[in-house]
Amino acid sequence: MGLGSRKSIMCVWIGLASAGFHSSVPSAPALSPPVDFISSSRSARSTLKDVISQRKWTLTTIQVEASSLRMLLLPVILHLNWIIFTPIIFSDPPRSPFEPLLFISHPTPSPSGDPNDPRYRRGWLDFVFVAYYIIFFSFVRQVITIKLCRSIARRYGLRKESKLARFGEQGYAMIYFACFGAWGLRIMSQLPTWWYKTEYFWIDYPHWQMKPELKRYYLMQAAYWCQQLIVLAFKLEKPRNDYRELVAHHIVTLWLVGWSYGLHLTLIGNAVYMSMDIPDTFLALSKLLNYMGYDSVKTLMFIFFLSIWTYFRHYLNIVILWSVWKEFDLIPAAAKYFRPLDDIWMAWWMKWQIFTPILLLQFLNLFWYYLILRVFVRAVKEFTVEDVRSDEDDSSDDDDNGKED
């Protein structure tokens, strides 16, 4: 087969795949052309219209599952076409340009030299991976909150729209934190930091090389929190009474994620993730039981959740803070410099850069701990467990307004 005919076949195949794809999935609104700030001929009204159009496109991608699914599938289809047909055209086919969207990038030789024990470093293509998985979590969130959880909520008699929305949000939170809490537990079991052996946060720093599973876990966590911040910023969820604290929490979390990843502190980052994700699983579960009306079970679950929260969010968080304060000097002397060109960052003052956001996170945790203890005291006195973080509409509804027999 000649080279020209091979190229023709490839073009026809990609064209057919694209045609079938567009016919099966509703098309998303087209992204407006970028605003031309140089040309003076464009009016301010036209510029504002473009900006609004781009914002609507972003919200559509996050809110409409068909739109996010289309964006998820397109790189997959293009990548499959690439790996199937480029070997036909090229004797030494180039790497797929769509691969960094789907898989982690920047492999590096393993210190053991074992090809079956690969390692990865951070790099610019990590931003591409995170961007793709922001869309992935947008799709997953819509499927779980709307398709899965609403049908379950209706089976338990929930009818009011605000109740259905809250049930979906907590269902998504429970599934996410349960999966990533278990995943983080598995990863920590493979690291020298198991179970919170905090001295290994600093020994042999900088930890330039990461196990592939650790890197994938870290970047997907970053994508999740970016997506959640977008949800809060655009108020795609109805704000609760602690809306400002939630925004602050997400900003501090992304601060921690970015700095820990950029400064090769992924071992301490994994420990912080673990201390947050596991108690959040039981928080969401206790709220779901409350919505479902399991009065006796939800009280027991709440007491169990309170102990889990106390241990993970406060005790272990303080253990991490103590390690930053006391064990920071375990960093090798050769790495106690701020030399970005050499990818070495741990000057003495970086202790404060690490300590401060974790301390801020602890202050936010203490605020929520106060709210949780209020619920606990009320449960002891009145044998009822209610979510004190609910919005005003939810808190003012009685059970009859939220359910129908």
Which residues does 280 contact at the CB level (< 8 Å), separation at least 6?
173, 177, 181
Going 392 to 394 to 399 to 403, the CA torsion angle's sign is: positive
pLDDT band, residue 115 (cuts 50/70/90) = confident
Mean pLDDT value of segment 366-392: 75
**Which tens digits make up the pLDDT trace of 5-40?**
444 434 434 443 444 434 333 333 333 444 443 444
Looking at the chain, the whole-number percentage of residues with pLDDT higher than 90 is 64
Q: Is the pLDDT at 213 greater than 90, yes or no? A: yes
Q: Where are the domains of the chain?
A: 183-384
Per mean pLDDT, which of 33-37, 214-218, 291-295 is the most reliable?
214-218
Tens digit of pLDDT for each residue in 230-249? 988 888 777 878 888 888 99
- Radius of gyration in angstroms for the set of CA atoms belonging to the chain, rounded to a whole number: 25
342 or 49, which is more confident: 342
Categorize the per-residue pLDDT at 98 as very low, low, confident or very high, splitting at 50, 70 and 90: very high
- Is residue 404 over pLDDT 70? no
Supply the pTM of this predicted model: 0.80
**Cα 311 from Cα 334, distance rounded (Å):** 36
Q: What average pLDDT score do residues 366-373 get? A: 94
Average pLDDT, the chain: 83
pLDDT over 70 at 401, yes or no: no
Distance of CA 278 to the CA centre of its chain: 14
Are 213 and 342 within 8 A, CB to CB? no
Is residue 294 over pLDDT 70?
Answer: yes
Candidate from 51-55, 198-202, 261-265, 334-338 with smallest mean pLDDT: 51-55
